[in-house]
Structure formats: C-alpha cells, structure tokens
Amino acid sequence: MPALKACPQFSEQMSLALDKQLSAREENELRAHLRTCDACRAQWDALQEIERLFATAPLISPPACFAVRVSARLAERESRRQIIFGVLALVIGAVVLGLISLASLGEVAPALYLLVTTPAAGHGLTVVTELLSTLESVLNALWLLAVACVRSPAAMICTTYSLIILALNVLWLRVLTSRLLRPVSHRA
Amino acid sequence: MEQEQVWIKQALGGNQEAFMRLVETYQTPIYNLAYRMLGNSQEAEDAAQETFIRAYTRLTTYDPTRKFISWLLSIASHYCIDRLRRRRLNLVSLEELPPWQGVASDMLQPEERLIENQTRDAVQVLLESLPAHYRIPVILHYWYDLPYKEIAEMLELTESAVKSRLHRAREMLVQAMTQADEDRKRMIMSALQTTPGRRC
Ligand SMILES: [Zn+2]
C-alpha cells in the first residue's frame, strides 16, 4: 500500500527546514501544519530518519596504495604522450627535410622525366643504354653543378647550403635510428 | 593551506611528486564521492584515478581563489555523471574495465560481488534509487556539508535548481525507503506462510 502523499506546498518547506533555510514564521507554520496533517507528519518522520542515516554514513577510503596506482597511471600517460610527440616531430622533420632536399635535386628532375617516358616495350637494350646515358647525364649535371658552384661568385653560399642540408639529413637519420632502437617502455 | 598552494605551484611546474602529495591529501573525499555515485569499488577506483589524472592535465585551468577540494569534487562529479550516463547507454560494463585495475582485491568473482552488494549499507541502496542528477547534489550536501551556493557553482546550476533537486531527491528517498520497508514486510510474510511446507 502506498503511503499517503504529503501536501506539495509543505513538502518543499520540510526540505528547507532540514537545511535551516526557513524563517521563524515559516517554521512555525510548518510545525502547526504537522500537528494537524498525518500525511505530512509521516513524510517528516521519514525525512528525519533519512537525515539520521546519512549523517552516520562514513566517508569511504580507497583501497591501500591508491596514490601509487595514480602515480603509475600518470607516468604511463606521460610516456605515451612523449612517444606521440616524438613520432610527430620525426614525421614533420622528415617532410621538411625531404622538401628541402628535393628542391636541390631540381636539376635531376628532367633527366628522371626522360627515363620514365621512354617507351620500353621490346627495346630492353635501348632502355639499358638510355638508363646508362641518363645516369651519365645525371652525373654530368651534378658535376657541372658542382663546378658552377665552385666557380660562381656565390660559391660560398652554394657550398654552405649543400653542407647544411647534408648535416641536417645525417642528424635526422641519427635521431630516427636512436628512436627506433630504443625500447618503448622503460619504467623505473 | 599554505603548503597546498606550494604543492599546486610545484605541480604546475611539472613536479609529479608534489602532485602526489595532493593526491594523498584528497584521495578519501574523492574516492568516497566516486563510490557513492557509482556504487562499487572497481568503478570507484577507476573514476577516482581518472579525476586526479584530469586534474593534473588541467591544472592550468585551476582558479586559486577557489578551494582546491571544490575544484577536484567538481571534476569528479562531472566525470561520474558522465559515466553513469554511458553505463545507462550500455557503453561501459564491469568486465570491460581497463587492465590497470588488476589488483587482486578488486577482481571480484560474481559471488563475491554479490556479497559486496548484500553487505552494502542501507544508505548506498537508497542513493542508487536516485537518478544521477539527483544523486550528486545529495552526496555533495550530506558528505561534504556544502552550502547550496557552492554546490550550484560546482554543477553549473542555479541555487534554486540545487534547492529543488535536493527537495525532489529527498521525496524520492522517502519513497524508496517506504518501498524497501514494504518489500521486507512482504518477504517476512511470505516466509512465514511457506515455513510449514518446508518442514516436510
Ligand atoms: Zn499536509
């Protein structure tokens, strides 16, 4: 059997009374009503039992070593984050260096184009010859470039540029290999 | 208080040791909130851990004019509400909990879980009769003794919304309590009626 329903206007007053939010006049009104209304009095008694129950409910502590587990999870998260950042940095580095290197290989592109567009069907020998001559012209081109670099008035700039690119490539390769060779999880 | 501000400043500078002092200081209130919201030790552990991880990663957004514990409680509250919502949508099950919870005492067998449920205090049973949005103001009110205004700030509600939710929640708790009383009475009655049959 369902309990009698308390009067709605007093139900909220009861909640406020428990939190000491009623004025003296409002509280007197509520007390007077409780003396005359069974449904509200039943509700009030139940509310007070709930107050007692909750007031004695303990604060539950976590199992032993909780902080240690938080610390481990934090460390795990941090190392995962570092790996993600590392990979991101490597990819960006590779793309940037690749673009710079490609720019300096601009002279070789026409030769490569010739190689790709050569009709090869049934002309194996031609292809090999073409390949060799292309290689020769590539080497020639590089040699001419080098000579031009050395002889031109901008020789210094040209060689410095090439050296910087070389150094950056070597540096990047070293970082890459050290990243790949290091074990992923290393915990103290 | 002084010491706490020092720890927070050090943690902001990336000092995890200092942050662990804060975890040790506040682990019980945060774990309690998670346990009261979620009702089992496994999920409570996970939610409390997650609260501290979030606090660490969002430490720059902490406003030092607020109490640190209020800020932590607010993170925990939002996380637990969200978690209960996902549980209702069946996106989280107890079996799917992440592996870092592989602590022996937490890996309860079904029977043990049942025992845990049975020995759970009456308060927890009553709390679980409330929907998440009513459960959280009740918890913040009774265990942390917070005024309406502070609860409202934590949950991003108006003060009057907190007031009316507490009132509604109390009505639901009364209902749940009378329901439980009736169930108990009915159980005793039916046990009395079937007793003679069991003797044979
Ligand atoms: Zn009444």
- Tell me how far the alpha carbon of residue B187 lies from the centroid of ligand 1, in angstroms: 31
Q: Across the interface, do B27 and A43 touch by the CB < 8 Å criterion?
A: no
pLDDT at B105: 41
| B1-91 is classed CATH 1.20.120.80 | no
Which amino acid is it at B158? T
Taking CB atoms and an 8 Å limit, are A57 and B143 in contact across chains? yes
CA distance between the termini of chain B? 69
Choice between A162 and B141, residue whose per-residue pLDDT is larger: B141
**Bigger pLDDT: A34 or B116?**
A34
Q: Which CATH number fits domain B129-200: 3.30.70.1060, 3.40.470.10, 3.30.565.10, 1.10.10.10?
A: 1.10.10.10
Contact (Cβ atoms closer than 8 angstroms) between residue B27 and residue A67: yes
Per-domain residue ranges for chain B? Answer: 1-91, 129-200
**CA B133 / ligand 1 centre spacing (Å):** 27
Chain A hits for B23, Cβ within 8 Å: 66-67, 70-71
Q: Do B148 and A19 touch (CB under 8 A)?
A: yes
Residues of chain B above pLDDT 70, percent: 80
Give the mean pLDDT of chain B. Answer: 85
The pLDDT assigned to A180 comes to: 61
pLDDT of residue B107: 47
Site from A54, A68, A185 to mutate, B interface, most B CB atoms within 10 angstroms = A54
Does residue A162 carry a pLDDT above 80?
Answer: no
Centroid of ligand 1 to alpha carbon of A98 (angstroms): 82
Cα gap B158→A41, rounded to integer Å: 30
> Please, what is the average pLDDT of chain A?
82
Distance from CA of A185 to the nearest CA of B (A): 15
Is residue B119 over pLDDT 70?
A: no
Nearest to A70 among B36, B49, B175 (CB): B49
Residue of A nearest to B52 (CA): A70
Ligand 1 midpoint to CA A34 (Å): 7
All residues with CB under 5 Å from ion ligand 1: A 7, 37, 40
> ipTM score of the complex?
0.77
**Does B31 contact A75 at a Cβ distance shorter than 8 Å?**
no
Is residue A159 pLDDT above 50, yes or no? yes
**What percent of chain A lies above the pLDDT cut of 90?**
37
Nearest CA in chain A to B124: A57
Residue A106: Cβ-neighbour burial (10 angstroms; 0-12, 13-18, 19+):
exposed
Q: Which of B28, B106, B175 is nearest residue A59 as measured by Cβ atoms? A: B28
Q: Whole-model pTM? A: 0.68
Would you state the pLDDT for residue B1?
A: 66
- Nearest alpha carbon to residue A67 among B51, B168, B75: B51
Closest CA to B154 of B41, B63, B28, B53: B63
**More confident of the two residues B40 and A133:** B40
Cα of A36 from ligand 1 centre, angstroms: 8
The neighbour count for residue B90, using CB atoms within 10 Å, is 7
Q: What is the pLDDT of residues B76-117, one digit of tens each?
A: 999 999 999 998 887 655 544 444 443 334 444 555 555 445
Q: Which residue has the higher pLDDT, B18 or B2?
A: B18
How far apart, in whole angstroms, are the C-alpha atoms of residue B22 and residue B8?
8
Distance, CA of B162 to CA of B150 (rounded, Å):
10
